[in-house]
Amino acid sequence: MFRNQYDTDVTVWSPQGRLHQVEYAMEAVKQGGASLGLRSGSHVVLAALKRAPNEMSAPQKKIFKLDSNMGVAIAGLTADARSLAKYMRTECLNHKYVYGTTMQASRLVLDLADMHQRTTQSYVRRPYGVGMLVAAHDQTGPHLFQTCPSGNYFEYVAMAIGARSQSAKTYLEKHFEDFENCDLDELVKHALKALSGCVTGDKELDANGLTLAIVGKDKVFESLEGEQLQPYMDAIELEGNAAQPMDEGDGEEKAPAPDAGMA
């Protein structure tokens, strides 16, 4: 990263019209372990690579359940993600008490984006260093949203964030037009194939190194790990055509060793 005289405070503009601190926070997302999400006409699948700060520790949590119909996958600072997940869970719970139903994902994501945005206009706080993929099935169907530290949010059919996510994005861009009519198993396989491209060069994707979550019509949010994923792993191995890790420096900066709080 470069140093310059306009990056010491979030609220200070650079003469080029940029907010450097906000951009640095966006950079934190790119250094977190890869997460991706994709949706069909009835379901949404989230998948993420698990990363441990060192060999002796358990991996950091990558996917958080928010409510029976909603969950997030994250890339960036896990601690920031936890705090935001707590906020979102409270919002979902309040909504359930007041209205007796689950929350509309678009409304929750708007509130979440506002949380992010507020920090970019106040010098007393720093931006959240985490990007989120929110998967939900609500009264208007299945939805996948991405939020950024800048306060921007977008709705997607498929999206990948985090380190080495470019190859997953390339895979998703190539196949996203087929997703609409995919059944759940196909969607999960697409998720795993896309995620295969995000592992570090010398390793291969294995069932213990990832988390996956499903939500959909008449299907409550559910995380799958390890053993439960093995059948899908076997299936994609047979089918081949998974995304390949990209050469270092191919569109993506080589990420420095991540901080212990990154996942």
Partner 1 sequence: MLCHSAAGPARGAGHATAAMDGTRQHTSQPIVTGTSVLGIKYKDGVMLAADTLASYGSLARYKNVERLKPVGECTLIGASGEYSDFQHIMETLEDYHQYDVNMDDGFERSPAEIYNLLRTIMYNRRNKFNPLWNYLLIAGCKKDGTAFLGSVDHIGTCYEDNILATGFGGHLALPILRKKWRPDLEEGEARALLEDCMRVLFYRDCRALNRIQIAKATAEGTVVSDAYKVDTEWSLASFSQPKAGQDTDGSW
2 binds partner 1 (CB under 8 A): no
Stretch that binds partner 1, among 21-29, 58-66, 96-104, 175-183 (CB under 8 A): 96-104
Amino acid at 100: G
230 binds partner 1 (CB under 8 A): no
Nearest distance in Å: CB 237, partner 1: 41
DSSP structure string for 20-57: HHHHHHHHHHHHSPPEEEEE-SSEEEEEEE---SSTTS
Number of residues in contact with partner 1, rule: CB under 8 A?
10
90 binds partner 1 (CB under 8 A): no
φ and ψ at residue 151, rounded to 5 degrees: 100, -5
Query: Please, which of residues 126-155 interact with partner 1 by CB under 8 A?
Result: 139-140
36 touches 159 (CB < 8 A): yes
Cα separation, 240 vs 226, whole angstroms: 20
Cα 51 from chain centroid?
14
100 binds partner 1 (CB under 8 A): yes
213 touches 45 (CB < 8 A): yes
99 binds partner 1 (CB under 8 A): yes
Nearest distance in Å: CB 97, partner 1: 7
Binding site for partner 1 (CB under 8 A): 97-101, 104, 106-107, 139-140
